[in-house]
Each structure stands twice: as C-alpha cells, then as structure tokens.
Amino acid sequence: MADGTGSAAPSVWSTDFRRTFRTLEGKPACGMLVAAGNKRSEEREERLTQSTASIPSAILWFLLAILVITVMALGICIPRRNNRGQLITLTVITALLTATLCIIRDVDRPFGGVINVHPTAIAEAERQATRDVLAHHAAADLPRDGDGDRRPA
C-alpha cells in the first residue's frame, strides 16, 4: 500500500471465502460467517481507499511552484541595506510553508513516508489466526504457503 497499489492475493482469498459462504447462505448457524466475510471485504476496500493519495501530485507541484514564486517575489522586494529582519522573516516563512507542504503530502499517503502507519492491527489478527490454525493443524496441512499461494493438492 505504500506505493499506492494493493496485493491481488487478498482479493483471491475474499472471492474464495464468498464462494464457500455462498453455499452456506440460508443456514441459520452460518449467517455470522457470511456477515463476517462481507464485513472483511468492505473493510479491505476502505483500507485500499485510505491508502491511495487523495491530493493529486499536480496540485502539490502547483503549490510548490506558487511557494517558489512567492518566495522569489518577496526576496526581490527586500531592501538591499538593513535587511536582517526581513531576511530572517522570509527564511522562517519559507521553512514553515515548505514544512506544511511536506506534512500535507505525508499525511495524504499514510502507508509510506515519514509519518508511516504500520499495519499493527492486521499483523496482530494474522498472528492470532495463525496461532489458532496451527493449534489444530500442522503447517503442512494448510491450503496456502507463506506467500499466500495455493499448495498443490
């Protein structure tokens, strides 16, 4: 998700879940499984939506160009003598506006950059699911390998 793309493997898994759950629909004990599968799919779509940048790169480049033009224009207007205060002010304003643009870009891309959101919740869910499955089955019995690919039957 850090580069704006998602893995195809969870989509395959979700499809497999739905295909399996479709045969169980209508049975009272399996309604919870069907609802959980639908919720899982909806939450994955939401995470994928959150991982994609909502501010187009063209707008960020436009804002950066405006910042450069503004700083250059203000720099030209600074008097040649006794300008220490104006230079300090221009430097501080430039640093603040540049930092603001960097923060906006970083917050808009939560799964990469300086402000990086780690997948702790999904990693914990994976750890618990793996622990529960391995408690009842050997690792060789699992239908998929560590990369999520189907094992040969």
Q: What type of residue is 34?
A: V
Amino acid identity of 16? D
Distance CA 151, CA 40 (A): 23
Strand partners, 144: 150
Please give the chain's pLDDT, 153 residues, in tens: 555 555 666 666 666 766 776 666 666 656 666 677 677 777 777 777 776 777 888 888 999 999 999 999 988 888 888 889 999 999 999 999 999 988 888 887 776 667 666 667 667 777 777 777 777 766 656 667 767 777 776
Could you tell me if residue 103 is left (phi over 0), alpha (psi between -120 and 50 degrees) or otherwise beta? Answer: alpha
Output phi, psi for 89, to 5 deg.
-60, -45
Report the interhelical angle of 31-51 vs 9-24 (nearest 10°).
Answer: 160
Backbone angles phi, psi at 144, to 5 degrees: -130, 150
- What was the pLDDT predicted at 94? 93
CA distance 61 to 149: 40
pLDDT score, position 65: 93
Q: How many CB atoms lie within 10 A of CB 39?
A: 10
pTM over 0.75: no
Distance CA 146, CA 1 (A): 19
- CA 64 – CA 43 distance, rounded (Å): 34
According to the model, what pLDDT value does residue 12 have?
64
User: What pLDDT does 62 receive?
Assistant: 93
Contact 24, 50 (CB under 8 A): no
| pLDDT at residue 66, rounded to an integer | 93
Give CA–CA dist 51/109, Å, rounded. Answer: 6
